[in-house]
């Protein structure tokens, strides 16, 4: 998304209004060049070590996005059998896919392993089962809960003591007992701290815990530090200095590898960092209500399409693409769902008129993938712009889609 000389926004030279004309409103649009840039930024920051990116695809599972990732050398982290299938459909070999479950039925883990994926074991009972089932015949990673609190807000922290994720580092003795009992081949230690982490410091803190834990596991090949890199949410936002973060973590990792006696791979599983900024949700203003208390801008979308503001109070910068140079006014931008459905409160926007197209930034991660049919609303289409070409990568839903699982029509 770029501002052109005449103050119009464009995606690789394409006017968003044209996309709305062609594909209808609302519409998700992804800019492939942003995804490519973010991937190379990360690769560059860690170029001094053996680093692998495992895209946490729950952020955006459109097959075209997955294929783009595959094309540029990014592997996958999945959290469900459905995501594993999508990864394979996008052309991934199962052995390029890591399955990081959270308390799932063991038959799902079994299916993923039989498929050839590698699993991040996230509980002692699962480890015990894994040992009984496979002994030393299949490798696995262990998801450690380091008891470190970090991240943008409480709902997106995943490694503090009260978090449900992973096996507490305090249970190390128990882990070792089970591993020894079944001679389980642990090839990696994993942790994922949370989301919207800006600085290297929380990563270093958990890395040190994993490095310390690693001393007890002689067969390691991988240290997986998870995802969670913060992205830019508005112009001028403070963001992760990826070069600095890469240098700092790489240095620490090299020292660890020397101590460990072998060169390991360092894995990351970013979701948001790779796709958030690539995405734009376009919607059309349906009504502008000049209420005595507030000016409300109503649009033809809602929390059924983008739930992040209502779910975690997340900020999405909004552009009035139809009137970028209008006089600034203050609005509450609200959705059409019959439920509190607020995208933004007291937001200054260039004057909004009925029919104006609004663009919601940072809609590439946890946008469509968290969408629903609440209020019997249809999900929008998705378009990927890559190499200067816009391509429809998911059609808009129809009433038939909405009804297809009902059995008593
Ligand atoms: C969701 C998730 C991620 C990605 O988190 P982001 O904040 O989107 O980078 C990484 N690893 C695991 C295990 C996850 O569940």
What does the pLDDT look like over 271-306, one tens digit per residue? 999 999 999 999 999 999 999 999 999 999 999 999
207 and 110 housed in the same domain: yes
Active-site residue flag, 257? no
Does pLDDT of 6 surpass 70? no
Does pLDDT of 63 surpass 80? yes
157 and 236 housed in the same domain: yes
State whether the beta carbon of 227 lies less than 6 angstroms from ligand 1. Answer: yes
Ligand 1 centroid–CA 226 distance in Å is: 6
- Of 55-69, 235-249, 267-281, give the lowest mean pLDDT range: 235-249
214 and 316 housed in the same domain: no
State the pLDDT at residue 197: 83
DSSP codes of every residue in 137-155: SSEEEEEEE-----SSSGG
Q: What is the pLDDT of residues 319-376, one digit of tens each?
A: 999 999 999 999 999 999 999 999 999 999 999 999 999 999 999 999 999 999 999 9
Structural domain including 145 reads: 61-270
For residue 260, say whether it is annotated as part of any ligand binding site.
no
109 and 208 housed in the same domain: yes
State whether the beta carbon of 272 lies less than 6 angstroms from ligand 1. Answer: yes
State the pLDDT at residue 5: 65
State whether the beta carbon of 359 lies less than 6 angstroms from ligand 1. Answer: no
Task: Please provide residue 393's backbone torsions phi and psi, each rounded to the nearest 5 degrees.
Answer: -115, -5
117 and 260 housed in the same domain: yes
State the pLDDT at residue 198: 85
Does pLDDT of 149 surpass 90? no
For residue 312, say whether it is annotated as part of any ligand binding site.
yes
Q: CATH number for the domain including 303?
A: 2.40.37.10
Q: How high does pLDDT run on average in the chain?
A: 95
- pTM value is 0.96
Atom of ligand 1 nearest to the CA of 58: 1
Q: With bands split at pLDDT 50, 70 and 90, how would you rate the model's confidence at 124? A: very high
Ligand 1 centroid–CA 293 distance in Å is: 40
Q: Please state, in angstroms and rounded to a whole number, the distance separating the CA atoms of residues 113 and 140.
A: 9
Q: What is the pLDDT of residues 153-198, one digit of tens each?
A: 777 777 788 888 999 999 999 999 999 999 999 999 999 988 888 8
How many Å from the N-terminal Cα to the C-terminal Cα in the chain? Answer: 44
Structure tokens given for 338: 């019959």
Domain ends where: 252, 270, 288?
A: 270
Domain ends where: 208, 235, 270?
A: 270
Dihedral sign (CA 85, 88, 93, 99): negative
Q: Please state, in angstroms and rounded to a whole number, the distance separating the CA atoms of residues 261 and 61.
A: 38
Q: Please state, in angstroms and rounded to a whole number, the distance separating the CA atoms of residues 369 and 366.
A: 5
Q: How many CB atoms lie within 10 A of CB 307?
A: 20
Q: With bands split at pLDDT 50, 70 and 90, how would you rate the model's confidence at 212? A: very high
| Contact (Cβ atoms closer than 8 angstroms) between residue 87 and residue 67 | no
State the pLDDT at residue 156: 73
Contacts of 30 (CB under 8 A, 6+ apart): 60, 62, 65, 275, 278, 279, 280, 364, 382, 383, 384, 385, 393
């Amino acid at each position: 998304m770029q501002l052109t000389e005449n103050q119009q926004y464009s995606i690789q030279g394409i006017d968003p209004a044209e996309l709305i004309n062609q594909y209808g409103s609302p519409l998700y649009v992804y800019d492939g060049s942003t995804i490519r840039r973010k991937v190379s930024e990360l690769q560059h920051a860690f170029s001094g070590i053996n680093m692998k990116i495992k895209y946490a695809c729950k952020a955006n599972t459109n097959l075209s996005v997955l294929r783009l990732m595959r094309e540029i050398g990014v592997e996958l982290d999945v959290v469900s059998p459905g995501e594993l299938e999508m990864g394979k459909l996008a052309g991934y070999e199962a052995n390029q896919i890591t399955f990081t479950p959270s308390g799932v039925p063991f038959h799902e883990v079994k299916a993923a392993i039989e498929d050839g994926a590698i699993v991040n074991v996230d509980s002692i009972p699962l480890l015990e089962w894994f040992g009984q089932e496979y002994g030393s015949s299949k490798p696995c990673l262990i998801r450690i809960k380091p008891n470190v609190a970090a991240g943008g807000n409480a709902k997106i922290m995943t490694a503090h003591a009260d978090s449900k994720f992973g096996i507490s580092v305090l249970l190390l003795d128990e882990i070792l007992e089970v591993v020894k009992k079944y001679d389980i081949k642990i090839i990696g230690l994993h942790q994922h701290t949370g989301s919207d982490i800006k600085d290297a410091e929380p990563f270093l803190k958990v890395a040190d815990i994993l490095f310390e834990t690693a001393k007890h596991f002689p067969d390691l090949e991988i240290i997986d530090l998870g995802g969670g890199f913060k992205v830019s949410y508005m112009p001028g936002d403070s963001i992760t200095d990826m070069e600095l973060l890469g240098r700092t973590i790489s240095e620490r990792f090299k020292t660890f590898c020397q101590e460990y006696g072998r060169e390991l791979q360092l894995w990351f599983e970013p979701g948001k960092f790779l796709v958030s900024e690539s995405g734009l949700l376009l919607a059309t203003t349906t009504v502008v209500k000049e209420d005595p208390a507030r000016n409300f801008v109503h649009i033809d979308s809602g929390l059924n399409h983008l739930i992040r503001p209502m779910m975690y109070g997340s900020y999405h910068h909004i552009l009035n693409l139809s009137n970028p140079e209008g006089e600034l006014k203050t609005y509450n931008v609200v959705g059409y769902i019959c439920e509190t459905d607020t995208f933004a409160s007291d937001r200054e926007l260039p004057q909004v008129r009925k029919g104006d197209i609004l663009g919601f930034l940072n809609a590439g991660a946890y946008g469509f993938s968290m969408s629903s049919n609440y209020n019997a609303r249809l999900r929008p289409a998705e378009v990927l712009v890559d190499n200067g070409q816009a391509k429809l990568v998911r059609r808009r839903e129809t009433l038939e889609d909405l009804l297809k699982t009902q059995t008593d029509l």
